[in-house]
């Protein structure tokens, strides 16, 4: 069709001064109520619209009176919600920083599990946040 333009025609319609690369400065601002959170793990899930990652810490509780059960309280410290595109960019950013870290300090080794599970129990590295599929 004559009314359709290809990409070259569209670029020709943009004035030269707009085509030139402009300098952009980003200033990082931390508000007074900024909070850092240390986390030992993460859980999450996704929908068609976003990804959710909850960061948690574990706290061992008292052993039951019978002595046959150890309870660990998993406290969800914070949750971030990302668009699919922001999630992909986060994965790229983390991958690059992991490569840089390992190039400097050596491979990151996952410690062996301190609690042995029965062979019939499946090992689960992550779980979904309750109520979010």
Averaged in consecutive runs of 10 residues, what is the pLDDT profile of the chain (133 residues)?
54 64 89 94 96 95 78 93 98 97 95 64 51 42
Q: How far is CA 105 from CA 93, 99, 100, in A?
A: 18, 10, 9
- Please give the model's pTM, rounded to 2 decimal places: 0.62
CA angle at 124 for the pair 95 and 39, rounded to the nearest 5° = 55
DSSP symbol at 130: T
């Amino acid at each position: 069709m004559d009314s359709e333009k290809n990409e070259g025609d569209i670029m020709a319609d943009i004035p030269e001064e707009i085509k030139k690369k402009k300098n952009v400065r980003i200033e990082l601002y931390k508000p007074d109520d900024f909070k850092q959170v240390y986390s030992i793990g993460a859980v999450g899930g996704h929908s068609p619209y976003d990804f959710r990652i909850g960061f948690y810490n574990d706290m061992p509780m008292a052993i039951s009176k019978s002595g046959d059960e150890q309870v660990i309280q998993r406290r969800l410290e914070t949750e971030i919600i990302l668009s699919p595109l922001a999630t992909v960019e986060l994965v790229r950013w983390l991958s690059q920083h992991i490569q840089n870290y390992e190039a400097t300090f050596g491979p990151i080794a996952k410690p062996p599990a301190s609690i042995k599970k029965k062979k019939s129990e499946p090992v689960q590295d992550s779980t979904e946040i309750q109520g979010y599929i």
